[in-house]
């Protein structure tokens, strides 16, 4: 038999339920509010302490204060306090250079230099291969005497040297001296950097060195694999010391070599952020096949270099030769600030195709060989050639 409750009792139950819900909501809101206020109070205390420090320095410091240096030092110190060597602050000029380098571009003409006190000129200490300076004929040992009509002196060489770094599509006129003979050339500022190098090391083996994985790395690698000589059936990838780049650019290069990923998540790589959100990078069917591959690794092989090596092995396409890798699966992302500066932060971890992780443990080589240089090759390249037959 069903029992009926009175209207008054029903209303009382509803009021009690609403009251309880309101009380719980208010309790949660209060905790959130208190935490927010506490953070605001902590921030205000930090800002007040910084103002106090600034006042003490301005009143007592015996010297000039550079406002720009001070502000950059504060920003740099904040990021340094995270204790993560992969996270760092970049000044506006350094951040512009970083952004260009990630795209595979280099600002400037591509030389390193110092002042030569004997001649009073700027001495070229090295010229990057493929740079506009190299293409214009500049070589190590050349003496730069005039830049854009301004004669080099001990007083202005620092400023003139810095002027050799500039944005793309601008040029600089340089007069340099070699063997007591002056020559004037016009050199374009900025160029597409080379990150992939190759050479034949045996009758059937191509050696491919990858310095990093940038915006144009896959394009450069594709130009090599599309024109492989018919007699080549083996590849040696040198990733020793390779670490820089992005997961996306690394996967763009991997797509040229591996088939469609079908195991695990079906991704060449997965990025996992602090909240557990995952980003997958897929492969495609356009890839080379039938090549025997060896990958050279060492303790300097890190990050993107490890991902590339690990995936090739996960797909059963390569063996690793050399020594154990660094074990760094950090994912970095750049953030720009309002004044043109920026920060690079560790925002997650990368996970390879099948291997659970190489973070903190590294990749052990299939064939362990310590590095030693011989007359023609180093021992690790020799072991790779021996393995490839």
- Work out the pLDDT band at 364, boundaries 50, 70, 90: very high
Give residue 35's pLDDT: 56
Polymer length in residues for the chain: 389
Q: Do both 249 and 146 map to the same domain? A: no
Give residue 357's pLDDT: 95
Is position 99 within any domain?
no
Is position 90 within any domain?
no
Whether residue 298 is predicted with pLDDT greater than 70 in this model: the reply is yes
Is position 54 within any domain?
no
Give residue 37's pLDDT: 59
Q: Do both 252 and 363 map to the same domain? A: yes
Q: Do both 116 and 133 map to the same domain? A: yes
Is position 63 within any domain?
no
Q: Do both 160 and 208 map to the same domain? A: no
Give the three-state DSSP class for 200: strand
Whether residue 17 is predicted with pLDDT greater than 80 in this model: the reply is no
| Helices assigned H by DSSP within the chain | 7-60, 67-80, 92-102, 132-136, 157-162, 217-225, 247-254, 304-314, 379-388
Is position 17 within any domain?
no
Q: Single out the residue in 192, 214, 232 at which a domain terminates.
A: 192
Range of 181's domain? 108-192
Beta-carbon contacts of 46 under 8 Å, excluding residues fewer than 6 positions away, are none
- Work out the pLDDT band at 34, boundaries 50, 70, 90: low
Q: Do both 304 and 239 map to the same domain? A: yes
- Regarding predicted confidence, which is higher, 32 or 387? 387
Whether residue 268 is predicted with pLDDT greater than 70 in this model: the reply is yes
Is position 7 within any domain?
no
Give residue 11's pLDDT: 47
State the average pLDDT for the chain. 88
Give residue 49's pLDDT: 85
pLDDT > 90: what percent of the chain? 67
Alpha-carbon span 208 to 220, nearest angstrom: 11
Is position 352 within any domain?
yes
CATH number at residue 188: 2.30.42.10
Q: Do both 183 and 215 map to the same domain? A: no
Give residue 220's pLDDT: 96
Summarize pLDDT for 137-170 with one digit per residue, the tens. Answer: 999 999 999 999 999 999 999 888 888 876 655 8
Largest CA-CA distance found in the chain, in angstroms, rounded:
117
Average pLDDT over residues 300-313: 98
Q: Do both 364 and 229 map to the same domain? A: yes
CATH number at residue 221: 3.90.226.10
Alpha-carbon span 323 to 300, nearest angstrom: 10
Summarize pLDDT for 107-118 with one digit per residue, the tens. Answer: 889 898 999 999
Average pLDDT over residues 162-184: 85
Q: Do both 142 and 202 map to the same domain? A: no
Whether residue 246 is predicted with pLDDT greater than 70 in this model: the reply is yes
Q: Single out the residue in 157, 175, 192 at which a domain terminates.
A: 192
Give residue 343's pLDDT: 96
Give residue 27's pLDDT: 56
Give residue 105's pLDDT: 86
Lowest mean pLDDT among 16-20, 131-135, 266-270, 331-335: 16-20
Is position 50 within any domain?
no
DSSP state of 378: B
Whether residue 42 is predicted with pLDDT greater than 70 in this model: the reply is yes
> Please, which residues bridge with residue 3 across strands?
none
Q: Do both 250 and 180 map to the same domain? A: no
Q: Do both 234 and 152 map to the same domain? A: no
Q: What is the pTM for the complete model shown? A: 0.79
Whether residue 192 is predicted with pLDDT greater than 90 in this model: the reply is no
> Domains in the chain: how many in total?
2
Give residue 2's pLDDT: 45
Average pLDDT over residues 347-372: 97
Q: Do both 155 and 207 map to the same domain? A: no
Q: Do both 274 and 367 map to the same domain? A: yes
């Amino acid at each position: 038999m069903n029992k009926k409750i009175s209207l008054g009792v029903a209303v009382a139950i509803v009021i009690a339920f609403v009251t309880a819900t309101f009380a719980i909501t208010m309790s949660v809101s209060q905790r959130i509010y208190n935490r927010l206020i506490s953070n605001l109070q902590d921030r205000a205390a930090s800002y007040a302490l910084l103002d106090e420090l600034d006042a003490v320095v301005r009143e007592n410091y015996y010297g000039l204060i550079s406002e720009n240096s001070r502000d950059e030092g504060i920003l740099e110190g904040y990021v340094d306090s995270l204790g993560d060597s992969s996270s760092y602050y970049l000044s506006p000029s350094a951040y512009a250079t970083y952004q260009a380098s990630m795209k595979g571009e280099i600002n400037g003409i591509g030389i390193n230099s110092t002042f030569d006190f004997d001649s009073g000129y700027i001495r070229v200490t090295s010229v990057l291969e493929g740079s506009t300076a190299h293409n214009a004929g500049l070589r190590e040992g050349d003496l730069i005497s005039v830049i854009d009509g301004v004669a080099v002196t001990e007083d202005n060489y620092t400023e003139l040297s810095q002027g050799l770094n500039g944005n793309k599509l601008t040029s600089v006129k340089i007069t340099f001296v070699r063997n007591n003979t002056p020559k004037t050339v016009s050199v374009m500022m900025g160029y597409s950097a080379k990150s992939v190098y190759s050479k034949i090391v045996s009758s059937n083996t191509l050696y491919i060195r990858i310095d990093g994985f940038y915006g144009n790395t896959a394009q450069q690698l594709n130009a090599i694999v599309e024109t492989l000589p018919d007699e080549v059936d083996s590849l040696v990838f040198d990733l020793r010391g390779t670490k820089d780049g992005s997961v996306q650019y690394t996967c763009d290069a991997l797509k040229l070599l591996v088939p469609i990923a079908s195991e695990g998540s079906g991704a060449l790589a997965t990025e996992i952020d602090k909240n557990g959100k995952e980003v997958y990078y897929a492969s495609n069917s356009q890839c080379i096949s039938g090549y025997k591959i060896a990958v050279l690794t060492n303790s300097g092989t890190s990050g993107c270099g490890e991902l590339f090596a690990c995936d090739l092995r996960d797909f059963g396409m390569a063996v690793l030769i050399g020594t154990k890798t660094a074990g760094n699966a950090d994912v970095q992302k750049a953030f720009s600030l309002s004044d043109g500066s920026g920060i690079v932060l560790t925002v997650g971890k990368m996970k390879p195709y099948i291997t659970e992780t190489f973070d903190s443990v590294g990749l052990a080589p299939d064939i362990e060989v310590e590095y030693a240089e011989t007359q023609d090759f180093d021992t690790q390249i020799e072991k790779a050639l021996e393995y490839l037959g």
